[in-house]
Structure 1
Amino acid sequence: MADSAENSVPALAVTAAVGAVVLLFVLLCSVGRRADKKDEDEQKTETEEKKVNKTEKQTKKSKPAQRHKRIQHVPFSHAWLATILRGHSSSVLDFDFSPNGKYLISTAEDRSAMLWSTKEFSKKEHKFIRGNIELDHGTRVKFSPDSKAFIVCLGNANTARILRIGKKDDGSPGNITAALDFPKKHTAEIIQIGVTSEVLSILDTHQMNNVYAAVSPCGRFVVSSGFTPDVKVWEVVFDKGGGYKDVKRAFELKGHSSGVNCFSFNSDSSRMASVSKDGTWKYWDTNIRYELSQDPYLLTTGSIHCEIPSHISLSPDGRSVAVGGDNSIGFYNAVSGEEEEVLKNIHDGFITELSFDLSNKYLVSSGDKHIVILHNITGYRATISDLESTEIKAIHRLKRKVRQQIAEAK
């Protein structure tokens, strides 16, 4: 029994050793297979990546370079278009008519001011005199009362500069030269300018933010509009010798339900027009006795064609109203309030200025590097209507007079 136990020990040892060798061999084979499989997978992945990269390169080579289509400017065209003034190389920011009605001065981001003759509005080609705005650009421009100079608001310096218009031997305008820079007085951006010799008064409008301001054509009133839904008018009072005396509140235009973006006068300041964020424009009779607390009369209220109106212009004769918003303009009869025409896509950008000329014949707008001159067809129609009405009244008066003479003769 002992011998058989002793004989079994070596057998077990041999069996265990053989089993261990077999197990080790199996493990080694398994590890080898895994390593081979890993190598195969890595090689396969590398091959696939090379194929993908090769495909991408081929795709990139085969794909033509995409070019962005350039949007071509379509020139504005309309039956009411008179002409277009071309000369500026950047956006025109403002323009103004001379008090004598002979010239238009424009200023743009290209650091220039250009003088145009209004006589050439009926022509296709237009000459201009260029003046440089050194080291700055003009954001607003206004003629002097004698039409011999103009003032620009400097965009970077936030102050004003006077430029003189020279005269040739034949009396025509000559070179434009800088004369004087005013000292800086404002910290906020200047929204409007006028011409005077010195600071006469500083007004607090109590309108939170002033949006628009102007001096009336007659020179009697200073007007402002802003965040509040009213237009405030002050009278500039002078003594008998013509010297400045005081500024006092004259009247207000009340009726809008939201802030007033812009307003305009006729030539003698007896009429005004205003346009508001509330979507309406209003036409006012301002020929009142405000010193006796008489309020302006609201004559007409009209709806506007655009969501955000930025400009309004009342013709000098008070018959036509033009409202500008975005890059479109609506023409309205001031008396009836009827919309007569809406002109769209006049400029590539937003309208920056809008004004009738002093003859009532044209409406001028700026918005890109061009100045568009439009026929005031609404004004022509209103004039014809007024003349026809006058004719009918004259006929009736003449009939009454003739009948009276017949009765007296009998």
Structure 2
Amino acid sequence: MTKKEDGTFAYVGGPEDFPKQHKAPVINIGVADTGKFIMTASSDTTILIWDLKGEVLASINTNQMNNAFAAVSPCGRFVASCGFTPDVKVWEVCFSKSGDFREVARAFELKGHTAGVYSFSFSNDSRRMATVSKDSTWKLWDTDVEYKKQQDPYLLLTGKCDVAEPCRIALSPDARALAISCSTSIFVYNTREGKEEERFENVHGEHITDLAFDVNSRFLVSCGDRAIRVFHNTAGYRAVVEEMKVLLKKATNESTKQRLQQQITDAQNSLESIYSKSK
């Protein structure tokens, strides 16, 4: 940050070259939202944890034959990777109360696929994860577990998807919908029953390289060629309506009923607005 003559502040970005540490090409980079570390993963089995000045804090050997994908969780606590083996490995990057780096500790693994995992995604609070595999399935997991007591994540749902590389999966921040890209097409599923709700075919001229929902779960964004495509998350809106209707039947408090009804109305209005514009 630099202070200007009028007293206001401006941010000036400067390039910083980190020392060459990886022996294979870097395939993923992630920055913790806490600002405490940077993660880089290469195509061999190496993940490095750096501080923001370019010092290596820790090196992780994933033991997965190769890394296919790696990411930092939205909460900034976890680093995860997948590859040739049929599981996803998750580590916790631990810091002291004063902010000093302590260690990288194994947190938990997602086990259940029968072939290598292409990609995975966290929900916004890291309490849910989604995975997609070469075994033509995707899975939704409950990762809100006491992993320090050796408790394993719970498998919530398995869905079918006939996909091949390059493939990416994105779980909406509220975990009500997920999207899978394969080549130039996108498939959107609800996470209540696992049904395919939307299909967008050949939306890019080249393979889709990344897929993400916005923080409010309203939009789905994809990139691949020289364009970024933005889609309405209609599956998410429909999931809100279904979920709130179930809760409304169980509600006994009048204020709770009104709040749930308002959420239903807002989601229905959003759907009506989206479909009216598309006609």
Q: TM-score, normalised by structure 2?
A: 0.77
Tell me which of 64, 67, 71 is aligned to 1:214. Answer: 71
Q: Which has the higher contact order (CA 8 A, sep 6+)?
A: 1
Residue 173 of structure 1: how far off its partner (Å): 9.1
Q: Match for residue 365 of structure 1?
A: 222
Task: Tell me if structure 2 keeps the 8 A contact 1:282–1:300.
Answer: yes
Say which SS state the counterpart of residue 26 (structure 2) adopts: coil
Q: Match for residue 30 of structure 2?
A: 194
Q: Which one has the largest radius of gyration?
A: 1
Q: Match for residue 381 of structure 1?
A: 238
Structure 1 residues 38-65: Cα deviation after superposition (integer angstroms, max 9, x where no partner) = xxxxxxxxxxxxxxxxxxxxxxxxxxxx
Measure the CA separation in 2 of the matches of 1:187 and 1:238.
27
Measure the CA separation in 2 of the matches of 1:223 and 1:331.
23
Measure the CA separation in 2 of the matches of 1:189 and 1:216.
22
Q: Match for residue 323 of structure 1?
A: 180
- What root-mean-square deviation, in Å, do the aligned CA atoms of Structure 1 and Structure 2 show? 2.4
Higher strand share: 2
Residue 365 of structure 1: how far off its partner (Å): 0.3
Q: Match for residue 295 of structure 1?
A: 152
| Identical residues among aligned pairs (%) | 52
Measure the CA separation in 2 of the matches of 1:182 and 1:386.
47
Measure the CA separation in 2 of the matches of 1:385 and 1:239.
43
TM alignment of 1:117-196, pairs within 5 A = 178-195=14-31, 196=37
Aligned length: 231
For residue 239 of structure 2, what is the amino acid of its counterpart? A
Measure the CA separation in 2 of the matches of 1:267 and 1:391.
25
Residue 179 of structure 1: how far off its partner (Å): 2.7
For residue 219 of structure 2, what is the amino acid of its counterpart? Y
TM alignment of 1:246-285, pairs within 5 A = 246-285=103-142
Higher helix share: 1
List gaps (5 residues or longer) in structure 2.
Answer: 32-36, 38-51, 255-279
TM alignment of 1:21-36, pairs within 5 A = none
Task: Tell me if structure 1 keeps the 8 A contact 2:88–2:117.
Answer: yes
Measure the CA separation in 2 of the matches of 1:327 and 1:173.
40
Q: Match for residue 347 of structure 1?
A: 204
Using a 3 Å threshold, how does the CA distance of structure 1 residues 172 and 227 change in structure 2: closer, same or farther? farther
Residue 309 of structure 1: how far off its partner (Å): 5.7
List gaps (5 residues or longer) in structure 1.
Answer: 1-147, 149-163, 399-410
Q: Match for residue 392 of structure 1?
A: 249
Measure the CA separation in 2 of the matches of 1:173 and 1:388.
48
Task: Tell me if structure 1 keeps the 8 A contact 2:137–2:162.
Answer: no
Say which SS state the counterpart of residue 291 (structure 1) adopts: helix
Measure the CA separation in 2 of the matches of 1:342 and 1:188.
36
Measure the CA separation in 2 of the matches of 1:343 and 1:210.
28
Measure the CA separation in 2 of the matches of 1:270 and 1:301.
17
Using a 3 Å threshold, how does the CA distance of structure 1 residues 208 and 305 change in structure 2: closer, same or farther? closer
Task: Tell me if structure 1 keeps the 8 A contact 2:173–2:213.
Answer: yes
Structure 1 residues 54-103: Cα deviation after superposition (integer angstroms, max 9, x where no partner) = xxxxxxxxxxxxxxxxxxxxxxxxxxxxxxxxxxxxxxxxxxxxxxxxxx
Say which SS state the counterpart of residue 369 (structure 1) adopts: coil
Task: Tell me if structure 1 keeps the 8 A contact 2:166–2:209.
Answer: no
Using a 3 Å threshold, how does the CA distance of structure 1 residues 303 and 309 change in structure 2: closer, same or farther? farther
TM alignment of 1:333-344, pairs within 5 A = 333-344=190-201
Measure the CA separation in 2 of the matches of 1:250 and 1:183.
28
Using a 3 Å threshold, how does the CA distance of structure 1 residues 305 and 277 change in structure 2: closer, same or farther? closer
Tell me which of 193, 210, 223 is aligned to 2:80. Answer: 223
Structure 1 residues 172-213: Cα deviation after superposition (integer angstroms, max 9, x where no partner) = 998x85432222222211011123223210011110101111
Measure the CA separation in 2 of the matches of 1:245 and 1:307.
39
Say which SS state the counterpart of residue 214 (structure 1) adopts: strand
Using a 3 Å threshold, how does the CA distance of structure 1 residues 309 and 302 change in structure 2: closer, same or farther? farther
Measure the CA separation in 2 of the matches of 1:253 and 1:332.
20
Q: Match for residue 306 of structure 1?
A: 163
Residue 380 of structure 1: how far off its partner (Å): 0.5
Measure the CA separation in 2 of the matches of 1:231 and 1:319.
21
For residue 247 of structure 2, what is the amino acid of its counterpart? T
Measure the CA separation in 1 of the matches of 2:103 and 2:126.
20
Task: Tell me if structure 1 keeps the 8 A contact 2:166–2:208.
Answer: no
Measure the CA separation in 1 of the matches of 2:80 and 2:95.
17
